[in-house]
Structure 1
Amino acid sequence: MIPELGYFSLTLAMVLCVLLFIFPLWGAHTGNLRLMRAAPSLAVGQFIFVLLSFAALIYASVTDDFTVAYVAYHSSSTLPWYYKITSTWGGHEGAILLWLVMQAGWTAAVALMSKSLPWPLRARVLGVLGFLAVGFMLYTLLMSSPFERLLPYFPVEGRDLNPLLQDPGMIIHPPLLYMGYVGLSVSFSFAIAALLTGQLDNLWAKWSRPWTMAAWGFLTLGITIGSWWAYAELGWGGWWFWDPVENASLMPWLVATALLHSLATTEKRGIFKSWTVLLAIAAFSLSLLGTFIVRSGIIVSVHAFASDPDRGMFILAFLAIVVGGGLLLYALRAGQVQSEGRYSLFSREVALWLNNILLVVATLIVLLGTLLPMVHKELGLGSISIGEPFFNQMFSYLIVPFALLLGAAPLLRWKQNKFSQVARKYGLGLVLTLIVTPVWLYSSFDNVSALTLLATGLGVWVLIMSAQDLLLKVSQASSVATGIKRLGLSYWAMLLGHVGLALVVISVTLTSAYSTERDVRVEPGEQVALGGYEFRFDGVKAIRGPNYSGHAGVVTVFDGDEVEAVLHAEKRRYDIGMQFMTEAAVDPGFTRDLYLALGEQLSGNAWSLRLYHKPYVRVMWLGGILISLAGFVVLFDRRYRRRVRKEGQS
């Protein structure tokens, strides 16, 4: 009965979505305020019914209702309760339902928190969000329902959740990622609404910016958690493999980053309006493209969910409608937009524009490297591989100008600057970078290549210039406390983002250059050296979990005569699917990770063991967290909210 109520709730939500799509848009077109005023109630009602539907699926999973096909295929009675909840988005149908929950939640939030917007703009934004919800609702009800029954014949036990997904990272990674994906639909809706009204002024940019910041923050955090999850779970010690599904999340993030900078310029200076709208359309379009890549079955990946070509065609058709319609409207209206501000070549506006260009070029590189092998194969031209070396090389070319701009831009003023006014500041930062970087590297590592020195120096440059800019701004006030108080949260958000990215650059460089690994055959009592540590293999012990059994290799790590850590690297066999999984053991540290993965048993008591020493890898995730915080900090800027509210009422 509960699953039927879930499907019925989803059907009612679909009806409300159709009304949300039609009523406010028609009301805005005809000037009917009554129809426009109906939009918030429809949005909240849609969210309530979608949430009830999702709760019904969770209930079916937690109560082991194997008459529901989705529960039978993606859960089991032996799963811990928290993984039973996780299983509701561990498969294709449940993941789409989670998308709908996020979509409805963002729509309800816009409806409740945009009361100061003029009704025509507010109604059009909600109408566009309603249209997007209709597409995914149709897809779920017609082709991807998680409530299908297996009556009268159903299994007494489920197939279990994919062992790869039985990890704490799976609990939080997909919801965060979807919050980012779907949140970009709000930016898209504001852009389309502005095009429909023909009023591409500063107001829509000011209202769109906090929503975009929030979505970007969630997307950043989701990608960061996903990177950590892959590192800890897959057993190969990597953190980014340029997998097509990983790329699917990176592309909208790159464009959304460009969008944030462009929105700031449009808001403050009234320029780049057409470009900002195009970025808003592109960011959400790439989110939909990522959904198509993951769920169409055209790729093989540990992250991919579906292999049904009909589902892929539906998503592709919906993608064509959304992207094609948005670009057509943009082509019709963008030519009417005039920029208001003026600026010189040596200004913050130009720095932000160059920043946008580099981010878009990076996106095109990822798009080409991701789609070209698929297109090549579908055209019958054979299989080609574009892997990690291609992406690493192309990004190494882009990171140099990007990092230089990132460090220089905060010191530039709007409109125009005199080079003599900032040259001394740049010179000081450059000198400090040229001193700090080699001193640090040569004192920490034996061999330092020119490429490592350059890449690390870029990260250090951004850190030093960010610190210098902060000190200059604080020193201009009568006291340090006054100077800090004068800095708005928007500034702190920018500082966090730049520092976080600098840490990512430094971490990626040092981890790539100085990681070491060994594959060894060891017997109990045998020791192996790596990275200045001694690893003693103490043998294996049997382990038993709620739905698996296996062995754990016990390894004692010595730093000289001191015991640094005792690690347990596991090899699990899950009871129901008889699938084997490697659970790596990690001893984390700020300056290094010690990473172990247990291999197969060899002759006698010997086992294969893979050892990694990875310097500064954890700094990368610290940087990712700081970047994501930048997206949330600005939301608490009261001065910003008051300014937007005042202008919305005027």
Structure 2
Amino acid sequence: MIPEIGYFALVLAMALSLLLCIFPLWGAYTGNLRLMRAAPSLAIGQCLLVFFAFAVLIYITLTDDFTVAYVAHHSSSTLPWYYKVTSTWGGHEGAILLWLVMQSAWTALVAMMSKSLPWVLRARVLGVLGFLGVGFMLYTLWMSSPFERLLPYFPVEGRDLNPLLQDPGMIIHPPLLYMGYVGLSVSFSFAIAALLTGKLDNTWAKWSRPWTMAAWAFLTLGITIGSWWAYAELGWGGWWFWDPVENASLMPWLVATALLHSLAATEKRGVFKSWTVLLAIAAFSLCLLGTFIVRSGIIVSVHAFATDPDRGLYILSFLAVVVGGSLALYATRVAQVHSEGRYRFVSREVGLWLNNIFLVVATLIVLLGTLLPMIHKELGLGSISIGVPFFNQMFAILIVPFAILLGLAPMLRWKQNKLGGLVKKWGVIVALSLVVTATWLFSSYDQVSPLTFMATALAVWITVATASDLLQKISSQSSVMQGLKRLGLSYWAMMLGHVGLAFVIASVTLTSAYSVERAVAMKPGDVAMLNEYQYRFEGVKEIRGPNYSGHAGVVTVLKEGKVVTELYAEKRLYDIGMQFMTEAAIDDGFFRDLYLALGEQLSQGAWSLRIYHKPYVRWMWLGGLLIALAGFIVLGDKRYRRRSEKGIKG
């Protein structure tokens, strides 16, 4: 009876979403304030019902109700309780319900925190969010319900959660990623509402910007943790594989990054209005495209949910309606949009425009590399492969002008700059960056390739340029404290985001250039050397977990005769699915990781092991965390709090 209650709660939520789609939009069209005022209550009501349904799914999973098909397929009685909770989004149906949880939560937040918006704009934003909720709730109830029963015949034990997903990364990565995906639907809804209203002034950009920033920050955090999870869990020692599912999250992030910068220009200077709306539409459309890629069954991936084609067809149809309808509306209104600001070539406006160009081109490259093999195969033209070398080469080309621009950006002003003074300042920063890079690399490594030097210099350039701008702003005031007080949170966030990207560029460059690995066969007592470290194999011991057994290879790591750490690399056999999984052992450090994976048992008591030495790999995730933190810091800016408290007149 309890699963049926959860399903009924979703039916009621679907009814409220349908009303949320109809009432405020019709009220805004006819000027009926009563219908518009119903929208917040409907949004909060559907949110409570969806949360209740999700709580029901968690309950029946924790109580091992294997009469429910979803629980039987994705959980087991031996699964630890925290992975039982995780299993509620570890399969297709539960993941879609998690999407609904996020969708309803964002809708309710918009309803509660937009009280000072004009009622017509507020109603249309909530109406568009209601329409999106209807689409996904209909999909859940019709094709992806997690509450379906197996009665009268049901198993006494579940199939267990996929061992790949029994990892701490699974607990936090999907919710954060979905918070970002679904959060971009708010930006989309503000853009569509502005188009429906016919007033593409600065108001919608001001209100859309903090919501976009929050979604972007969550998406950044989700991607960062996903990269770390792949590195730690898959045992390959890699941090990004250009997998189609990974690309599915990268594309909306790139466009959302462009959208944030474009929103800043639209809000402050009244420029790029039509382009900003188009970016808002594109960002959420790419989220839907990513959902189609993951859940249509058209790709084979360690991340993908291989599911039936009918589900993929529904998502593709919904994508066509959302994208086609929004672009049609955009086409009818774009002629009425006119930019207000004027600017010269050397200005912050042009810098932001170039930033957008690079990010959109990068998105198109990822889109082409991801979809072309699928389209080629579906058309019966055979299989083609667009792999890591293609993406690496294209991004290596794009990152050069993008990083140069990123270093220049903080020093550019709105409207116009004097080129002579900027060139002199940039020349000093370039010289200092080259000196720092040369000192760093040639003191650390015997060989430095020109490509490695250039890429590292770009990361140093961004950092030095950002620090130089900060010093200039502080020194222009009468005291250091006064200079620091005059800098708002938005400025600190910009600095943090740019430095975070510099960390990522440096990490990718140095890890790719100087990582080394060695495959060895070792008996107890054998020693292998890699760089300056000695790896002494102590042997293998039996291990037993809550739902698995296996072996752990014990390796003592020494440097100059002193013990650095002891690594335990595991080979697990899960009880129910009888699947083998490799759990890498990692000794992490700020400047390097020691990474060890246990392979198969060989003859005469030997075991195969793979040893990796990865310099600066942690900087990648540190950079991602700094970038995400920058987004959250911006949300504390006084302008956004004041906007929430006092509202925007108009």
| TM norm structure 2 | 0.99
Residue 609 of structure 1 aligns to a residue in which SS? strand
2:4 is the counterpart of 1:4 = yes
- Counterpart of 2:270? 270
**In the TM superposition, what whole-angstrom CA distance separates every residue of 1:140-174 from its partner, at most 9, and x where no partner exists?**
00000000001111100000000000000000000
- Counterpart of 2:414? 414
In structure 1, distance between residues paired with 2:503 and 2:289: 29
Residue 116 of structure 2 aligns to a residue in which SS? coil
- Counterpart of 1:24? 24
In structure 1, distance between residues paired with 2:422 and 2:53: 58
- Once the two structures are superposed, the pairs formed by residues 456-605 of structure 1 within 5 Å of their partners are 456-605=456-605
CA shift, 1:643, in A, is 4.5
- Counterpart of 1:400? 400
- Once the two structures are superposed, the pairs formed by residues 121-160 of structure 1 within 5 Å of their partners are 121-160=121-160
In structure 1, distance between residues paired with 2:47 and 2:261: 31
- Percentage of identical aligned residues: 78
Contact 1:121 1:194 in 2 (8 A): yes
- Once the two structures are superposed, the pairs formed by residues 186-205 of structure 1 within 5 Å of their partners are 186-205=186-205
Letter of the structure 2 residue corresponding to residue 571 of structure 1: K
2:8 is the counterpart of 1:14 = no
Contact 2:571 2:583 in 1 (8 A): yes
Cα–Cα, structure 1 residues 65 and 16, in superposed 2: closer, same or farther, change >3 Å? same
**In the TM superposition, what whole-angstrom CA distance separates every residue of 1:368-415 from its partner, at most 9, and x where no partner exists?**
000000000000000000000000000000000000000001101100
In structure 2, distance between residues paired with 1:477 and 1:485: 10
Contact 2:285 2:323 in 1 (8 A): yes
CA shift, 1:493, in A, is 1.1
Contact 1:515 1:612 in 2 (8 A): yes
Contact 2:114 2:644 in 1 (8 A): no
CA shift, 1:424, in A, is 2.2
CA shift, 1:531, in A, is 2.0
- Counterpart of 1:49? 49
**In the TM superposition, what whole-angstrom CA distance separates every residue of 1:270-317 from its partner, at most 9, and x where no partner exists?**
000000000000000000000000000000001001321000000000
- Counterpart of 2:178? 178
2:284 is the counterpart of 1:290 = no
Residue 648 of structure 2 aligns to a residue in which SS? helix
In structure 1, distance between residues paired with 2:231 and 2:639: 40
- Counterpart of 1:379? 379
In structure 1, distance between residues paired with 2:23 and 2:496: 42
Residue 604 of structure 2 aligns to a residue in which SS? coil
In structure 1, distance between residues paired with 2:640 and 2:99: 30
- Counterpart of 1:220? 220
- Counterpart of 1:427? 427
CA shift, 1:640, in A, is 3.5
In structure 2, distance between residues paired with 1:185 and 1:524: 56
CA shift, 1:482, in A, is 1.3
Residue 573 of structure 2 aligns to a residue in which SS? strand
In structure 1, distance between residues paired with 2:282 and 2:644: 25
In structure 1, distance between residues paired with 2:451 and 2:496: 26
Letter of the structure 2 residue corresponding to residue 455 of structure 1: A
CA shift, 1:2, in A, is 1.3
Unpaired runs of 5+ residues, structure 2, are none
Contact 1:203 1:647 in 2 (8 A): no
Residue 587 of structure 1 aligns to a residue in which SS? strand
- Once the two structures are superposed, the pairs formed by residues 243-254 of structure 1 within 5 Å of their partners are 243-254=243-254
When the two structures are aligned, how many residues end up with a matched partner? Answer: 650
Contact 2:210 2:640 in 1 (8 A): no
CA RMSD after TM alignment: 0.7
In structure 1, distance between residues paired with 2:639 and 2:331: 35
In structure 1, distance between residues paired with 2:181 and 2:643: 28
- Counterpart of 1:206? 206
In structure 2, distance between residues paired with 1:117 and 1:643: 10
Residue 304 of structure 1 aligns to a residue in which SS? coil
- Counterpart of 2:306? 306
Residue 563 of structure 1 aligns to a residue in which SS? strand
In structure 2, distance between residues paired with 1:311 and 1:77: 29
- Once the two structures are superposed, the pairs formed by residues 71-90 of structure 1 within 5 Å of their partners are 71-90=71-90
CA shift, 1:39, in A, is 0.2
CA shift, 1:645, in A, is 5.1
| TM norm structure 1 | 0.99
CA shift, 1:510, in A, is 0.2
In structure 2, distance between residues paired with 1:607 and 1:247: 36
Residue 648 of structure 1 aligns to a residue in which SS? coil
Cα–Cα, structure 1 residues 462 and 65, in superposed 2: closer, same or farther, change >3 Å? same
**In the TM superposition, what whole-angstrom CA distance separates every residue of 1:168-218 from its partner, at most 9, and x where no partner exists?**
000000000000000000000000000000100011000000000000000
In structure 2, distance between residues paired with 1:84 and 1:251: 31
CA shift, 1:649, in A, is 3.5
